Amino acid sequence: MQNLDPAEAEDFARIRDVQVENVLRILEDSLGRLKISLILPRMVADLEHVERQLQGTLYQPAIEHLKAVKRLDAIETQMFDIEVLRIIDYFHRNFKMNELFPRYLNNLSTYDKTLLFAFETILSVARRHLERTSKAEINMERQLYVMYQEREETKARNESIRKKLKSKYAALRWKQGVQFVILEKHESDLANRKWKNNVRIQNEIEKRGRILRENHKQSLIRQKELEEELEQAKAQFELLVKNNAAKEKEIRGEKSKLLIQLENILRKYDSSVTEKLRENLELEDMFKVAKKELDEFMVLYRKEEAVYKNIVVKYEKEEQRKQQQRILLYMMNRAARKIQRYWQKWRKDQAKRARKARKSKKK
């Protein structure tokens, strides 16, 4: 370089600038081709959106290429013939098409994003190294020298601080030894209290378990009594149904007799029309009265049946409500007793701490 005249040096600098621009352009084009390659499967899958986006642009021929790729099913089968390679080459030549689909780039997988970020990092590093100048290198050396001096000063300060810390560390270890002894004593006291609390809790659990078993036993006895009462009610209901069936059978017999009488009257109808007509009307009235009585009886029967069912439902609901009240009362009493015990324990602990504090102040 020292033997070159200014014109040759200028030509060399110009050639270097052109070479740098060519290298950067190749890297940028490669980055663009990588982007279009990564989003190409998404473009094939979302063909309707891509067609709307490319319609009326310079990249409109890409629509037919994407349809061909989808028709050949090259994305799924990974089989690339000459036609598929020609289509891929078209997208690589028109890689700026990826600027129309920023959403696809944002929704890439983690692996694809990592690959894209690595390539962008390579481009950034190459740009920084290729575009640097001698002046920038000199400034960098100066900054490194300043950083070296600061590093030496920092090392000296660290050595001084390390000596101070060493003396403090000895005192700190002595304090830690004392604290460790105190901590062991507290841990021993805590373990003893924990064991006592566990014993107390276990006794309370066994006591409550016995109470629950007794309540469950009483509940089973009461349930058995209710089942017996329900069986009695069912038996009474079946007896009532049986009696009603007998009455209904009797009414049907009476109805049959009336029908027989009506038939006899109809046989004699030819001899005395007027008399038989009157008798027929009387028999019909009797039939209506009997039917009315039967209907009234059935209405009464249905009312009694509804009352019975209502009584059974109310009885079951009342028993369920009483059972829930007993359980709720038991839970509330248990919670109140626990709160009272914890409150008494807390007050005792506070009183002990207050006495210890007063004793320490007197000392």
- Decide if pLDDT at 65 tops 50: yes
82-93 and 6-45 helices, crossing angle to 10° = 120
Residue 38 CB neighbour total at 10 angstroms: 19
Q: Please work out, in degrees rounded to the nearest 5, the angle formed at the alpha carbon of residue 46 by the alpha carbons of 45 and 49.
A: 165
Residues 229 and 351 in one domain: yes
- Cα–Cα distance measured from residue 215 to residue 227, given in angstroms and rounded to the nearest whole number: 18
pTM of the model: 0.35
Q: What proportion of the chain, given as a percentage, has pLDDT over 70? A: 87
Choose the final residue of a domain: 98, 131, 164.
131
Residues 122 and 221 in one domain: no
Burial class (CB in 10 A: 0-12, 13-18, 19+), 163: exposed
Q: What proportion of the chain, given as a percentage, has pLDDT over 90? A: 0
The chain-wide mean pLDDT, for the chain, equals 79
- Decide if pLDDT at 111 tops 60: yes
Query: In which band, very low, low, confident or very high, does the pLDDT at 7 lie, cut at 50, 70 and 90?
Result: low
| 177: in domain | no
- Decide if pLDDT at 68 tops 70: yes
Q: Which residues contact 41 (CB under 8 A, 6 or more apart)?
A: 75
263-282 mean pLDDT: 70
151-162 mean pLDDT: 85
Give me the pLDDT at residue 37, please: 83
Residues 224 and 354 in one domain: yes
143-168 mean pLDDT: 82
- Decide if pLDDT at 276 tops 70: no
60-79 mean pLDDT: 71
Choose the final residue of a domain: 107, 131, 155.
131
| 310: in domain | yes
Give me the pLDDT at residue 242, please: 85
> 138-152, 165-179, 234-248 — which one is most confidently predicted on average?
234-248
Give me the pLDDT at residue 2, please: 45
| 201: in domain | no
Total number of domains in the chain? 2
6-45 and 62-72 helices, crossing angle to 10° = 50
Residues 227 and 105 in one domain: no
68-73 mean pLDDT: 75
Residue bearing the bigger pLDDT, 80 or 93:
93
Give me the pLDDT at residue 13, please: 64
Residue-wise pLDDT tens digits, 8-30: 656 666 777 777 788 888 888 88
Largest Cα span, the chain? 161
**Three-state secondary structure along the chain?**
CCCCCHHHHHHHHHHHHHHHHHHHHHHHHHHHHHHHHHHHHHHHHCHHHHHHHHCCCCCCCHHHHHHHHHHHCHHHHCCCCHHHHHHHHHHHHCHHHHHHCHHHHHCCCHHHHHHHHHHHHHHHHHHHHHCCCHHHHHHHHHHHHHHHHHHHHHHHHHHHHHHHHHHHHHHHHHHHHHHHHHHHHHHHHHHHHHHHHHHHHHHHHHHHHHHHHHHHHHHHHHHHHHHHHHHHHHHHHHHHHHHHHHHHHHHHHHHHHHHHHHHHHHHCCCCCHHHHHHHHHHHHHHHHHHHHHHHHHHHHHHHHHHHHHHHHHHHHHHHHHHHHHHHHHHHHHHHHHHHHHHHHHHHHHHHHHHHHHHHHHHC
Give me the pLDDT at residue 238, please: 83
- Decide if pLDDT at 277 tops 80: no
Choose the final residue of a domain: 79, 98, 131.
131
Residues 102 and 226 in one domain: no
Query: In which band, very low, low, confident or very high, does the pLDDT at 322 lie, cut at 50, 70 and 90?
Result: confident
| 167: in domain | no
Write out the residue range of the structural domain in which residue 347 sits: 214-362
| 142: in domain | no
Residues 232 and 341 in one domain: yes
Residue 266 CB neighbour total at 10 angstroms: 11
Give me the pLDDT at residue 1, please: 42
